[in-house]
Structure 1
């Protein structure tokens, strides 16, 4: 953890002003319905259909993240596949499918779509920014940084600074990231609460990884206050509650999430919190619900959910062998520091494993 003093809050007079987060979520769903309805009536061959479908893919992906709705991610992916079938040489369709595939961690296919979009005339700065996100996700930090710098002149200050802050946070460069997070907040010029809530959430993730629970709580809470329905922020606040030995508070945070989200992470964490609160009988149905849902998602989207499912089986599910199997599967698909750490955790929980199974190179080596 860094020795630098932690900046855990922003003075009120420096707080960026945005629209009400609850109303913004309502408006987001209304916007999705407003874009989808005429597309259903007119069909995919209508003029400007690709442009409107691309907007819909991005809106669905945003709502999926904010509310923890895997079904939104899946709908976005299905729509993007349809777009490319109908317009295989359209750069907007290819870019939309690349983003949808990257959301579900289908990174190699997303990169192929970006290559095709380049051939179809997509702007180089757009391609560089999209590739940088993917390369960062798979642990290719040097390559990602070079592309971020290349894309920066054609991006807004907020977008550029946010991407740099995320990059530095992912690299563990917390002192540098703190400064850039502040610069990004100051550079925000819109009224939507979503970009700033995501920025605050990622800042909380950085401090949670560093083990600074008060700082993590401060930023997760900032994101949740900006957008009260922000599921990942509330879920991570519950994680902090558990780490601070406040399981009943975690239970209270998680109960609304298991009703509105179809992500198994929340029933899994609710089961963990109920066990920590000494209520194992109440925990069991939530554990079973999470187990069933993880199996569904690993079957449909292994790249995105194998690592989360491995965590579940090791921490909540009580099946070390299944956890190890999924951890190794995740490592084959993506050789990142998280993947290696997950396999090591599974290895520590199970005896007699061959450490040579862990030897692999990252895709950047």
Structure 2
């Protein structure tokens, strides 16, 4: 299948995002088929399986498919059971555990991968991502700079841009985002779409909705099926007073994604346009799905479920309980802020009660 470049003024040239998603799924299917035909484990077979794990994780992010994350995690667990001393297998499992926010276990895998011969720069880069996720920004930056000589300019600059954005260093982050974009040399649309998405997240946190919209839209135009970008665009639409546009963006997402974030958003948005019966139906779907995911992956979904119950779910006590559960698992600034928010909502409702 031929590819068609996406072009724009001063824009990096990449292959068509829709075609790239089709090719990604085809590559996943091909690797799955090869895995079913494989004989005894070899280093090549382990490497192929690790590639499949990473591709499933990528598709899970792009399309909002928790099932892909879970499949990747199961494959990685099997890889390490089969080859417990293989650094490639250990790195693959570390990445899937980090994706599901099992950070302590991921760090243990990285230690084991280092002892098994994994490149120090690779281990440092993975450790930095975990440290950044738990708010240890200074330590993450030290490791990133140590790993930088063995990374592409795009990867290094993009990672540092996201780190500075999360630290609140917006001017420096914006400079790094721009440099990263200019340094891109590949043809895949996915890294650029992810970079633009993270730039949009930065501006959304800063309260600049027009800037956030422009970068979410850039990510969605580069990869039209990019679920997180479409979901955040719907959120911006609602904040800017256009709930009908938000509903139109969310309806396709709830058909293709199994992440309850989108059904929760759709319920909230339908309520804003007066479609209360349909909103209640989607709210119930989100509630049931969050219950499943919190049981299976509490580290990854307890905080999202807490936010759901504090807003769309309208059960503040349950939201506070999940916020406290998150704080027990992860003592980060965001966890403390979630508990504070839940407590504030509960106290405000108590004051308003008759």
TMscore range, shorter length: over 0.9
Is 1:212 the counterpart of 2:212 in the alignment? Answer: no
User: What is the CA distance between 1:336 and its match in structure 2?
Assistant: 1.8
Q: Which residue of 2 aligns with 1:363?
A: none
Q: Which residue of 2 aligns with 1:357?
A: none
Q: Which residue of 2 aligns with 1:147?
A: 143
Structure 2, unaligned stretches of length 5 or more?
1-6, 349-354
Match of 2:105 among 105, 109, 116: 109
Aligned mates of 1:236, 1:57 — CA distance in 2: 26
Q: Which residue of 2 aligns with 1:186?
A: 182
Aligned mates of 1:43, 1:85 — CA distance in 2: 16
Aligned mates of 2:106, 2:18 — CA distance in 1: 32
Match of 1:164 among 145, 156, 160: 160
Instruction: Map 1:229-248 onto structure 2 (within 5 A).
Output: 229-248=225-244
Relative to structure 1, is the Cα distance of residues 312 and 221 closer, same or farther in structure 2, using a 3 angstrom cutoff? Answer: same
Match of 2:51 among 46, 50, 55: 55
Q: Which residue of 1 aligns with 2:303?
A: 307
Structure 1, unaligned stretches of length 5 or more?
1-10, 353-365
Match of 1:266 among 257, 262, 265: 262
Per-residue CA deviation, residues 258-305 of structure 1 (Å, 9 max, x unaligned), is 000000000000000001111111100100000000000000000000
Runs of 4+ aligned structure 1 residues displaced above 6 Å come to none
User: What is the CA distance between 1:234 and its match in structure 2?
Assistant: 0.1
Q: Which residue of 2 aligns with 1:37?
A: 33
Aligned mates of 1:105, 1:147 — CA distance in 2: 19
User: What is the CA distance between 1:45 and its match in structure 2?
Assistant: 2.4
Aligned mates of 2:43, 2:150 — CA distance in 1: 28
Q: Which residue of 2 aligns with 1:126?
A: 122
User: What is the CA distance between 1:339 and its match in structure 2?
Assistant: 1.1
Q: What is the number of equivalent residue pairs in this alignment? A: 343
Aligned mates of 2:123, 2:71 — CA distance in 1: 23
Aligned mates of 2:330, 2:201 — CA distance in 1: 20
User: What is the CA distance between 1:47 and its match in structure 2?
Assistant: 5.8
Is 1:18 the counterpart of 2:14 in the alignment? Answer: yes
Task: Provide the aligned C-alpha RMSD in A.
Answer: 1.3
User: What is the CA distance between 1:351 and its match in structure 2?
Assistant: 3.0
* TM norm structure 2: 0.95
Is 1:222 the counterpart of 2:215 in the alignment? Answer: no
Q: Which residue of 1 aligns with 2:69?
A: 73
- SS of the residue aligned with 1:316? coil
User: What is the CA distance between 1:226 and its match in structure 2?
Assistant: 0.2
Aligned mates of 1:183, 1:47 — CA distance in 2: 37
- SS of the residue aligned with 2:251? helix
8 A contact 1:139–1:335 mirrored in 2 = no
- SS of the residue aligned with 2:67? helix
Q: Could you tell which deviates more after superposition, 47-56 or 159-168?
A: 47-56
Per-residue CA deviation, residues 170-219 of structure 1 (Å, 9 max, x unaligned), is 11111111110010001110000000000000000000000000000000
User: What is the CA distance between 1:313 and its match in structure 2?
Assistant: 0.3
Q: Which residue of 1 aligns with 2:247?
A: 251
Per-residue CA deviation, residues 140-172 of structure 1 (Å, 9 max, x unaligned), is 111001001100011010110011001001111
